[in-house]
Amino acid sequence: MVRERVGDWRLAWRFALAGLVAGLLVITLAQTGVTAGTFDAGQDTLFPAPSPDPQITFVALDSRSQRTLGAYPWNNSYHAQVINYLAGLHPKAILFDIVLDHLTGNSVEPPFEATDPQLTQAIRAAGNVVLVCNAESAPRPEFSTVAAAVGDRGLGVADRANAIRGLILRPAPDATCAENETDEPAFLLALRISEKITAPLTVRDSVATFGTHRIPVEQGQMLINFSRGSSPSCSYVDAFNSACPQPDLITDHIVVVGTKLIDAGDIYGQAVSFPHDASFCPVHRPRIVLDHLTGNSVEPPFEATDPPLTQAIRAAAIVLAATFSLGARYVLEERERRKVERIFGHYIDPRVARQLAATRSVEDLISKGERRDLTVLFMDIRGFTSMSESMRADDVLAVIQDYLDEMSKLILKWDGLIDKYVGDEIMALWNVPLEQANHALLAIRCAYDLVSNAPALQAKLATRGLPPIGWGIGVNTGPAVVGNMGSQDRLQYTALGDTVNTGARFCSAAPAFEVLIGLATYQACSDYIAVDEVPGIQLKGKSAEKFRIFKVTAIREEPGSPWVPMPTDAAASAYSASQQLYARQSLFI
Residue 185 DSSP code: B
Q: Hey, what amino acid is at 412?
A: L
Q: Tell me phi and psi for residue 34, to 5 degrees.
A: -60, -30
Spell out the alpha helix ranges (H) of 127-250. Answer: 141-144, 186-195, 236-240
Task: Report the range out of 189-193, 418-422, 441-445 with the highest average pLDDT.
Answer: 441-445
Average pLDDT over residues 477-491: 82
For helices 116-126 and 76-88, give the axis angle rounded to 10 degrees: 20
The neighbouring-strand residues paired with 210 are 213
Is pLDDT of 523 > 90? yes
172 SS3 class: coil
Average pLDDT over residues 162-171: 72
**Distance in angstroms (rounded) separating the CA atoms of residues 589 and 586:** 5
The residue with greater pLDDT, 82 or 116, is: 82
User: What string of DSSP letters covers 58-80?
Assistant: EEEE-HHHHHHH-SSS--HHHHH
Q: Which pLDDT score is estimated for 585?
A: 77
pLDDT tens readout for residues 203-241: 887 888 888 888 888 777 777 766 555 567 899 999 999
What percent of the chain lies above the pLDDT cut of 70? 65
**Distance in angstroms (rounded) separating the CA atoms of residues 543 and 573:** 34
**Distance in angstroms (rounded) separating the CA atoms of residues 471 and 552:** 15
- Exposed, middle or buried, 190 (CB in 10 Å: 0-12/13-18/19+)? buried
Max distance between CA atoms of the chain, in angstroms, equals 131
Q: Hey, what amino acid is at 318?
A: I
Is pLDDT of 107 > 50? no
Mean pLDDT of the chain: 79
Is pLDDT of 95 > 90? yes
Global pTM reads: 0.47
Q: Hey, what amino acid is at 501?
A: N
Q: Which residue from 96, 137, 93, 136 is spatially nearest to 120, judged by alpha carbons? A: 96
The residue with greater pLDDT, 91 or 298, is: 91
Q: Are 146 and 165 in contact (CB under 8 A)?
A: no
pLDDT tens readout for residues 324-360: 666 666 666 666 666 655 655 555 556 555 655 565 5
Q: Are 139 and 147 in contact (CB under 8 A)?
A: yes
Least confident of 293-297, 365-369, 491-495: 293-297
Average pLDDT over residues 158-175: 71
Task: Report the range out of 48-62, 266-280, 297-311, 525-539 with the highest average pLDDT.
Answer: 525-539
Beta strands 254-259 and 56-61, pairing class: parallel
**Distance in angstroms (rounded) separating the CA atoms of residues 331 and 251:** 66
Is pLDDT of 483 > 50? yes
pLDDT tens readout for residues 362-403: 555 555 678 999 999 999 999 998 898 889 999 999 999 999
Helix (H) or strand (E) holding 235: strand 233-235
Q: Are 410 and 449 in contact (CB under 8 A)?
A: yes
Tell me the CA distances in angstroms from 215 to 83, 276, 368, one per residue in order: 30, 25, 74
Buried b (16+ CB within 10 A) or exposed e, 58-94: bbbbbeebbeebeebbbbbbbbbbbbbbbbebebbbb
What percent of the chain lies above the pLDDT cut of 90? 40
Residues contacting 246, CB < 8 A, separation 6+: 232, 234
**Distance in angstroms (rounded) separating the CA atoms of residues 279 and 267:** 6
Is pLDDT of 37 > 80? no
Average pLDDT over residues 120-137: 91
Residues contacting 328, CB < 8 A, separation 6+: 14, 15, 18
Q: Are 259 and 99 in contact (CB under 8 A)?
A: no
Q: Which domains does the chain possess?
A: 2-39+307-332 (no CATH), 48-294 (no CATH), 369-587 (3.30.70.1230)
Tell me the CA distances in angstroms from 58 to 132, 221, 291, one per residue in order: 15, 23, 11
Apex 207 CA angle, 203 and 211, nearest 5: 70
Is pLDDT of 177 > 70? yes
Buried b (16+ CB within 10 A) or exposed e, 199-237: eebeeeeeebebeebebebeeebbbbbbbeeebbbbbbb
Q: Which pLDDT score is estimated for 399?
A: 95
**Distance in angstroms (rounded) separating the CA atoms of residues 474 and 493:** 21
